[in-house]
Structure 1
Amino acid sequence: MTMEPRPRAEMRASHEDREAVAERLREAAGEGRLDIDELEERLERALTAKTYGELEPLLADLPALPGRHAGLGPAPAAQEGPPLVLKGGLHGDERVGRWRVPRKVVAHGGLGGVKLDYTRADCPWPEPEVEVHGDMAGITIVVPLGWEVDTTGADSGFGGVKNKTGAEERRPGAPLLRVTGTGGVAGVTIRHPNLWERRRLRDNPPPS
């Protein structure tokens, strides 16, 4: 006799699932989406939940964060396509706002420079890669708080590869961005959003 698969709501949640939900609830409270009483009540339910069916309603009215899988459990497998190639040329190139991150980006700074901003991007990959070629104008990479950046595979060149994100703790479920290639003449800078960019994010929150 063939057994019918259990509905997702009846599947058992893991410690990691419970902690991921608790972390998102704390972030939502920090964003002003939940008050203290709501936070405490939902945290208690999250940390004692046994199934996905008990966890999922706790996040149902909260938007997912950019770059994070919205659901519980493993993210659906993403199809790896060809690398996204950006060339600064004379006038520069950029990927900012909402865009879907491919498994690999190849960025050539050229004479105009390249900017990659991941703060609103949809990233289905646990370890996306950026192959940098700083050239004459350089490359700027902006990542959200909680992402980890690995630059050990990149050569500094003349301009250097500067990781200004610090050694902060990687947020559960957040990507590890691997930077390879060379800084070229102008170099590569990886940083978190600056004051102006944070203000723009605050004034224009992502849609729920």
Structure 2
Amino acid sequence: MTDESPELRASDADRERVTERLREAVAEGRLDMEEFQDRLDATYKARTYGELEPLTRDLPDMAAANQAVPTVPGTGAWADRIGGTGTSSTGVAIMSGFSRKGRWTVPRRFNGFAFWGGGEIDLREADFEAPEVVINCVVLMAGIEVIVPPGVEVVVRGIGVMGGFDDRLTGEPADPGAPRVIITGFAFWGGVGVRRKATKAEKLRLKEERRRKRLE
């Protein structure tokens, strides 16, 4: 989209690129849900470049966003998220809590320890140092929750004594090229929960996809 030809008719792909950027802006905290909904309605009604351009004018990085629709977890496009150096290798909670979430790089082995406390290890927006990583959790009268994005392979091998590890995701199919997350460790009078959950941006994408299908 350019200012030189605002009268040109916009395509469905143009509207989808703007929609994707708006979803990203919500996830980044640049737009609240009311602003997002107003701009989304205007996007679907837009017929020309001139009508689309103001909807993202105050959002950064639109030039990059206009080149392609960003990939999201669950599409099989994992190559850009595997590699690099781990940014955090340990989480400790002693009568307290710890959290690892947002943009971070999971090392080949991450150790989590919780005693009379809790921990959260959120991999939804994380990169991975290697195609296979180990999340080792030791909990004593405590709990740790591991959140993985759609498409990642999960293998649970932890041991529980008067406690346990949630292994419901073991064996679920994974995306081609997705990382493998092995969850191991020991739980005594506590537990390690493992659940699969989409990011806010992905939830918005799916919601708008369903809405678009209803309008067709």
Fold conserved between structures, TM > 0.5: yes
Residue 164 of structure 2: aligned partner: 160
Q: 1:80 to 1:116 in 2, by over 3 A?
A: closer
Residue 68 of structure 2: aligned partner: 61
Q: 1:183 to 1:200 in 2, by over 3 A?
A: farther
| Counterpart pick for 2:99 among 94, 108, 119 | 94
| Mapped contact 2:161–2:187 kept (Cα < 8 A) | yes
Alignment deviations for residues 156-176 of structure 1 (CA, whole Å, 9 cap, x no partner): 222111123253211111111
| Mapped contact 2:156–2:170 kept (Cα < 8 A) | no
Report the RMSD for the aligned CA atoms in angstroms.
Answer: 3.2
Q: Which amino acid aligns with 2:113?
A: H
**Higher Cα Rg, which structure:** 2
Q: Where do 5+ consecutive residues of structure 2 fail to align?
A: 1-15, 21-66, 206-216
| Mapped contact 2:112–2:136 kept (Cα < 8 A) | yes
Q: Distance in 2 between matches of 1:65 and 1:103?
A: 22
If each structure's strand is expressed as a fraction of its own residues, which one has the higher value? 2
Q: Distance in 1 between matches of 2:184 and 2:94?
A: 20
Q: 1:84 to 1:102 in 2, by over 3 A?
A: same
Q: Which amino acid aligns with 2:174?
A: R
If each structure's helix is expressed as a fraction of its own residues, which one has the higher value? 2
Q: Where do 5+ consecutive residues of structure 1 fail to align?
A: 1-28, 34-59
Q: 1:148 to 1:199 in 2, by over 3 A?
A: same
| Counterpart pick for 2:176 among 149, 167, 172 | 172
Residue 109 of structure 1: aligned partner: 114
Q: Distance in 2 between matches of 1:151 and 1:84?
A: 19
| Mapped contact 1:92–1:110 kept (Cα < 8 A) | no
Deviation at 1:189, TM superposition (A): 0.9
Q: 1:122 to 1:93 in 2, by over 3 A?
A: same
SS at match of 2:107: coil
Residue 70 of structure 1: aligned partner: 80
SS at match of 2:203: helix
Matched residues, percent identical?
27
SS at match of 1:183: strand
Deviation at 1:122, TM superposition (A): 1.2
